[in-house]
Homo-oligomer: A and B are copies of this chain.
Amino acid sequence: MSMRARNDRSFIAGTIAIGSELLVGGRTDSNSLFITDVLGAIGVEVRFKSIVGDNRSDIERVLKTACNRAGIVIVTGGLGPTVDDRTREAIAAVTGARLARRKEALEGMKARLAQWGRIPNKGQLRQALIPSQAIVLPNPVGSAPGFSLVWRGTHIIALPGVPSEMRAMVEQSVIPYLISQLKPSKSRGRQPLTRLVFHTWGMSEADVDAKLTGLIKKSLPVALGLLASPTGVLVSLTTEAGRALKEDALISLAEEVRTRLGEWIYAEGQDTMEEVVGRLLHGQRRTVAVAESCTGGLIAYRLTQVPGSSSYLDRAVVCYSNQAKMELLGVPEHLLREHGAVSREVAEAMAKGMRERTGVSVALSVTGIAGPGGATETKPVGLVYIGLDGGRDDMMTREFRFHGDRSVIRQRAAQAALDMLRRWLMNKGNL
Contact = CB atoms under 8 A, between A and B. Distances in A.
Nearest to A307: B372
A132 interface: no
Chain A interface extent, by class: 35 or more
Contacts of A49: 22-23, 50-52
Contact of A318 (B24, B58, B228, B315): B315
A33 B27 CA distance: 9
Nearest to A25: B33
A280 to B, nearest CB: 18
Interface stretch (A219-227, A383-391, A415-423): A219-227
A246 to B, nearest CB: 22
Given A37-B24, A164-B404, A229-B27, A315 B317 contact: yes
Contacts of A296: 300-301, 303-305, 309, 316
A373 to B, nearest CB: 6
A227 B305 contact: no
Contact of A121 (B69, B206, B309, B321): B206
A19 B227 contact: yes
Contacts of A340: none
Interface string A33-65: 110110010000011111111110010011001
Contact of A65 (B55, B65, B164, B404): B65
A320 B304 contact: yes
A214 to B, nearest CB: 11
B314 A324 contact: yes
A82 interface: yes
Contacts of A303: 296
Interface of A: 19-30, 32-34, 36-37, 40, 46-55, 58, 61-62, 65, 69, 80-82, 84, 121, 123, 162, 164, 195, 197, 205-206, 209, 223-229, 234, 236, 238, 290, 292, 295-301, 303-305, 307-310, 313-321, 323-324, 328, 358, 371-373, 404-407, 410
11 contacts: A21-B225, A24-B33, A26-B234, A48-B62, A82-B226, A292-B297, A296-B300, A296-B316, A310-B320, A314-B323, A315-B318
Given A20-B238, A47-B52, A315-B328, 19 more contacts: A20-B223, A23-B32, A24-B238, A25-B36, A25-B37, A28-B33, A47-B53, A49-B50, A292-B297, A297-B298, A297-B299, A300-B300, A300-B301, A300-B318, A308-B373, A310-B321, A315-B324, A317-B328, A318-B318
